Amino acid sequence: MGRKVLLDKAHIEGIRYYDVYRKNGGYAAVEKALKMAPGDVVEEVKKSGLRGRGGAGFPTGMKWSFLAKPEGVPRYLVCNADESEPGTFKDRYLMEFLPHLLIEGLIVASWALGSNRTYIYIRGEYAWIVDILEQAIAEANQAGFLGKNILGTGFDCQIYVQRGAGAYICGEETALIESLEGKRGNPRIKPPFPAIKGLYDCPTVVNNVETLAAVVPIMNLGGEEYAKIGVGKSTGTKLISACGNINKPGVYEIDMTQSVEEFIFSDEYCGGIANGKRLKACIPGGSSVPILPANLLLKTAKGEQRMMTYESLADGGFPTGSMMGSGGFIVLDEDQCVVRHTLSLARFYRHESCGQCSPCREGTGWMEKILTKLEYGKGQMSDIDLLWDIQRKIEGNTICPLGDAAAWPVAAAIRHFRDEFEWHVTHPEEAQVRNFGLAHYADPLEVAVG
Q: What pLDDT, on a 0 to 100 scale, did the predictor assign at position 447? A: 40
**SS3 per residue for 219-267:** HHHCHHHHHCCEECCEECCEEEEEEECECCCEEEEECCCCEHHHHHHCC
Sign (positive or negative) of CA dihedral 209, 93, 345, 356: negative
CA distance 338 to 413: 7
CATH architecture of 18-228: 3-Layer(aba) Sandwich (3.40)
Q: What pLDDT, on a 0 to 100 scale, did the predictor assign at position 55? A: 81
Question: What dihedral do alpha carbons 192, 194, 197, 199 form, nearest 10°?
Answer: 140
Please provide residue 152's backbone torsions phi and psi, each rounded to the nearest 5 degrees.
70, 15
CATH (one of 2.60.120.10, 3.10.20.600, 3.40.50.300, 3.40.50.150) for 237-333? 3.10.20.600
Q: What pLDDT, on a 0 to 100 scale, did the predictor assign at position 440? A: 35
Annotate 327-373 with DSSP letters as a single string: -EEEEEETT--HHHHHHHHHHHHHHH--S-SHHHHHHHHHHHHHHHH
CB atoms within 10 A of CB 154: 9
Q: What pLDDT, on a 0 to 100 scale, did the predictor assign at position 1? A: 56
Q: What pLDDT, on a 0 to 100 scale, did the predictor assign at position 300? A: 85
CA distance 201 to 92: 29
Beta carbons of 77 and 215 less than 8 angstroms apart: no
Q: What angle do CA 236, 212, 152 make, to 5 degrees?
A: 120
Strand-strand pairing, 75-81 and 204-208:
parallel
Per-residue pLDDT of the chain (450 residues; tens, 9 = 90+): 568 999 999 999 999 999 999 999 999 999 999 999 999 999 999 999 999 998 888 999 999 999 999 989 999 999 999 999 999 999 999 999 999 999 999 999 999 999 999 999 999 999 999 999 999 999 999 999 999 999 999 999 999 999 999 899 999 999 999 999 999 999 999 999 999 999 999 999 999 999 999 999 999 999 999 999 999 999 999 999 999 999 999 999 999 999 999 999 999 999 999 999 999 999 999 999 999 999 999 998 788 899 999 999 999 788 888 999 999 999 999 999 999 999 999 999 999 999 999 999 999 999 999 999 999 999 999 999 999 999 999 999 999 999 999 999 999 999 999 999 999 999 988 877 665 444 333 343 444 433
Q: What is the pTM of this model?
A: 0.92
**SS3 per residue for 303-332:** CCECECCHHHHCCCCCCCCCCCCCCEEEEE
Buried b (16+ CB within 10 A) or exposed e, 210-247: bbbbbbbbbbebebeebbebbbeebbbbbbbbbbbbbe
Q: What pLDDT, on a 0 to 100 scale, did the predictor assign at position 443? A: 42
Domain 338-449: state its class.
mainly alpha
Q: What pLDDT, on a 0 to 100 scale, did the predictor assign at position 372? A: 95
Domain boundaries, the chain: 18-228, 237-333, 338-449
